[in-house]
Amino acid sequence: MVRINRVYTGTGDDGSSAFVDGSRHRKSHLRFVAVGTCDELNSIVGLIRRECKVLPSHADGGSSATIGRIQNIAESALDRIQNELFDLGAELACEPDKLPEYMQLIDSNQCDSLTGEMDAWLEQLDPLTSFILPTGAGPEPIIHLARTVTRRLERGLIAIEDEEGTESVRKVAKVYVNRLSDWFFVFARWVTKNMGEEETLWTPLGKRGESSNVANMIRKIGSNDADYDNLD
């Protein structure tokens, strides 16, 4: 059982911190970078949970039933993922062969859960015909933010491997993080559908309008404001 009496200890004032095995290292160590990214991702998942909880009972095109569906699935799945990210962060704060024997580690069961949920969502989604932009009226942009931070975490794990060797990160940990990024992507698409929204597709440069159109709009709005101010 974890018991925390105070947050500050002063032991890290010199720029060092401790691995799970008690050894101390500079806070710039690649493992601490990965642990920090886990923590950052976990906080973003907390934002997603909050945004899902405060969704209105009726959204444009979305009924209370579909909003409730988002809330129920999000609360159940994201609670689990936040706990798994804590598990992963603790694991990364030490070399695999120095982890305490009592520590329970993420295994293939957690990876399979992510895959099973993605498969279930994809059964309800249309195939993609283009890349999509990370936007939306609900929690979707934050879900996409979680996706990108997960990819950064994955790059962090590979950086540890490059520095310390292929045995420095368990394969299942890398698989889990790779699956999790895909999971956030599919989750965002599923939320978009249940919000009753259309996905915003990427338009190739050659098919997009001139950017000067926005400048013209700004000038037109300014002109209209001036006309309004001159009215008696």
Phi, psi of 62, deg, nearest 5:
-115, 130
Lowest mean pLDDT among 88-92, 93-97, 170-174: 93-97
Q: Among positive and negative, which fits the CA dihedral 51, 56, 61, 67?
A: positive
Look up the CATH number of the domain holding residue 79: 1.20.1200.10
Range of the domain at 33: 16-203
Number of domains into which the chain is organized: 1
Rounded Cα gap, residues 197 and 137, in angstroms: 8
Mean pLDDT, residues 64-85 taken together: 94
Mean pLDDT, residues 95-118 taken together: 94
Helix (H, G, I), strand (E, B) or coil at 21: coil
Task: With beta carbons less than 8 A apart as the criterion, state whether 146 and 155 touch.
Answer: no
Mean pLDDT, residues 113-134 taken together: 96
Chain center to CA of 114? 14
Q: Per-residue confidence at 13, pLDDT binned at 50, 70, 90? A: low
The CA distances from residue 69 to 63, 65, 75, in Å, are 10, 6, 10
151 in any annotated domain: yes
223 in any annotated domain: no
Confidence check: pLDDT of 84 > 70: yes
4 in any annotated domain: no
2 in any annotated domain: no
The CA distances from residue 129 to 58, 125, 209, in Å, are 29, 12, 21
7 in any annotated domain: no
Give the tens place of pLDDT for each residue, 184-226. 999 999 999 999 999 999 998 888 876 667 888 888 888 776 6
87 in any annotated domain: yes
Q: Give the predicted TM-score (pTM) of the model.
A: 0.86
- pLDDT at position 5: 55
Q: Per-residue confidence at 62, pLDDT binned at 50, 70, 90? A: very low
216 in any annotated domain: no
